[in-house]
Amino acid sequence: MPRKYVIGIDLGTTNSALAWAAPPPDPRELSPVTLLGVPQLVNPGEVRDEDLLPSFLYIAGANDFPAGSLELPWPSADSSMVVGELARKRGTENARRLVSSAKSWLSHAGVDRTAPILPVSAPEGVTKVSPVDASRRYLEHLAAGWNAKMPEAPFAEQQVLVTVPASFDAVARELTLEAARKAGYQDPVLLEEPQAAFYAWIEKHPDWRERVQVGDLILVVDIGGGTTDFTLISVTEGAGELQLERVAVGEHILLGGDNIDLALARHLEQQLAGQGKKLDALQLNALWQQCRLAKERLLAEDANRGEHPVTILGKGTGLVGGTIKTKLLLEDVNRVLLDGFLPLVTSEEMPQRRRMGLAELGLPYAADAAITRHLARFLRQQAAASEHGSVRRGPSGLACPTHVLFNGGVLRSPVVRDRMIEALNNWLRAEGMAPIQPLLGEDLMHAVARGAAYYGMARAGRGVRIRGGIPRTYYVGIESAMPAVPGLPAPLKALAVAPFGMEEGTDLKIPAREFGLIVGEPAEFRFFNSATRKDDEPGALLDGIEEELEELSPVEVNLTGAAGEMVPVTLETVVTETGLLQLWCVARDGRRWKLEFNVREQVSR
């Protein structure tokens, strides 16, 4: 059955959103992208549609809410788990029962992301959930909200795209897919957030070809609640038309709104200490949550206030009303942002590294809070290291963008956007380049969800796609069927499985040829690539490992099956939207095994 709608979901660190579109029958036409108002509890007993679903989960105690006050428009298997606006509100009062930043934990390789570890500060007796389970509950809520509003088009029957940071590693991507599948999503597709933001800009500007030209280099700066991502998109030409090609992606930087909120909380903590009011760890956590809300209100584009009240519970009855009251000033927010997170630095200044040998276990936040220094490293090291000739560079080797597109809640503030532009222009001026041009006109809080829905139409041939063809040809090692010779390994051949320029989001079948796959015991798979052999077609078998081939780290896995069984298989290749090369081994009886690795350039820290 053809899918009636494409659904784009921004699974955010602080807020999530859902947008949708109905691809028209005529491929020359585009349908408008629409935001879904997500039903959620905003107060006990009060359900309201909101265009964002706060990515917070509150684990309610037996006496936290009146009986029956947590009912939603759909049945819930566990009414003690509150998601959305009410969870955020109640969490500012009792932070030890609040799960926040689950997406950041999902990307944390230093913990078991499938284990119940959240909330980290929960007291004994409080149920904990895993980062995967928390993400699953947000995705589940969005699906249930869709079904409540669109009962004639069940969510499970639609094409769904879920966004992830461009810098998510393979495990974090796979865990996001796992959370989506557990939430009932059928065949979800992952898409990078910066690309989604750019797709949203294209959707809003059908005349985009008149706003950029061949040779332009577009920098996407995405500063969200938990992460900062940088991406470069080049404007090229093909078949007489402008094309877009993603040419560089930054590393995973755990730096964003959470860090800013904590910095503001520390600022207020020092003020309160000067008044003789010392906060304990629980109160500081509550202050952190309050500062998030105050910052969002003060930096909203329609805000007209210079301060916002902040109230946290006291430790006893000695304080009037058992609370501590203070206020966050807009001028203090701007000072913390500009001086601490967005200092004006040269393009040669790199982020500081951690120096302590021991640290508390927790999220691996970036050691340096200066976003501008991380951007300088991206443009000077990572982007400049790209093999794409379309990366525009200055005399010093710095990648020099012509345009910048902003995304993420932090960048709603004109102060933040202006400082980022000022820093970029300082660097461009030093390279003898013209000032950068901002690409404006998109709602930063909903762009990712909207862009994901647009991309869903583009996948079906109804819209513009950003090209991101792989920059090398990839091969898998095939052991020759030769008699064993003492002291010598069996000769190795190289089978081309992914040709140079293969587009992300596409797949291919290796021409009919079977190979023997070892299952049921540990086996090593060797992969190679070449930047010079650009004409090898999928299925081309090289008799040996040529000098032009560079070996990658081997993959050792134990594929399911009878111990030592050799299964005849054919091969299929998929390059995902997020840069993973998946090599599928398909048996005659339909069994399938997957090998995968990242085909994007990696730059060591």
Q: What is the mean pLDDT of residues 548-558?
A: 88
Which pLDDT score is estimated for 604? 32
Report the run of H or E that residue 149 belongs to, with start and end.
helix 131-149
107: nearest Cα among 262, 226, 212 = 226
Which pLDDT score is estimated for 362? 56
Which pLDDT score is estimated for 601? 47
472: nearest Cα among 392, 389, 387 = 387
Which pLDDT score is estimated for 167? 75
DSSP string, 160-176: EEEEE-TT--HHHHHHH
Please check whether residue 585 is in contact with residue 592, taking contact to mean a CB–CB distance below 8 angstroms.
Answer: yes
What CATH architecture does domain 257-341 belong to?
Answer: Alpha-Beta Complex (3.90)
Peptide bond into 119 cis (omega under 30): yes
Would you kindly state where each structural domain of the chain is located, as residue ranges? 6-191, 257-341, 473-598
Which pLDDT score is estimated for 28? 66
Rounded to 10 degrees, what is the CA torsion of 513, 467, 255, 7?
-90
Return d(Cα 52, Cα 12) in angstroms, integer.
10
Q: What is the mean pLDDT of residues 75-93?
A: 89
Please check whether residue 48 is in contact with residue 42, taking contact to mean a CB–CB distance below 8 angstroms.
Answer: yes
Do the first three CATH levels of 6-191 and 257-341 match, i.e. the same topology?
no
pLDDT for residue 602 is more than 50: no
Over residues 129-156, the pLDDT tens digits come to 999 999 999 999 999 999 999 999 999 9
Please check whether residue 126 is in contact with residue 91, taking contact to mean a CB–CB distance below 8 angstroms.
Answer: no
Over residues 522-543, the pLDDT tens digits come to 999 999 999 888 889 999 999 8
DSSP assigned state of 35: E
b/e burial code for range 531-552 (CB count within 10 A of at least 16 → b): eebeebebbbebeebeeebeee
pLDDT for residue 45 is more than 50: yes
400: nearest Cα among 390, 411, 412, 410 = 390
Q: What is the mean pLDDT of residues 155-171?
A: 90
Which pLDDT score is estimated for 385? 64
Please check whether residue 177 is in contact with residue 188, taking contact to mean a CB–CB distance below 8 angstroms.
Answer: yes
pLDDT more than 90, % of the chain: 55
Helix H, strand E, coil C: the string for 351-396 is CCCCCCCCCCCCCCCCCCCCHHHHHHHHHHHHCCCCCCCCCCECCC
DSSP assigned state of 562: S
Return d(Cα 293, Cα 95) in angstroms, integer.
14
The chain-wide mean pLDDT, for the chain, equals 88
Confidence of residue 181 (pLDDT cuts 50, 70, 90): very high
Return d(Cα 297, Cα 330) in angstroms, integer.
10
- The residues, ordered by sequence, that sit 6+ positions from 207 with a Cβ below 8 Å of its Cβ are none
**Residue 311, Ramachandran bin (φ over 0: left; ψ between -120 and 50: alpha; else beta):** beta
Return d(Cα 354, Cα 199) in angstroms, integer.
36
Among 119-123, 202-206, 379-383, 514-518, the range scoring the smallest mean pLDDT is 379-383
Tell me, which fold does domain 6-191 have in CATH?
Nucleotidyltransferase; domain 5 (3.30.420)
Over residues 368-414, the pLDDT tens digits come to 999 999 999 999 986 666 665 668 999 999 999 999 999 988 898 88
- The residues, ordered by sequence, that sit 6+ positions from 453 with a Cβ below 8 Å of its Cβ are 6, 7, 8, 19, 20, 21, 33, 161
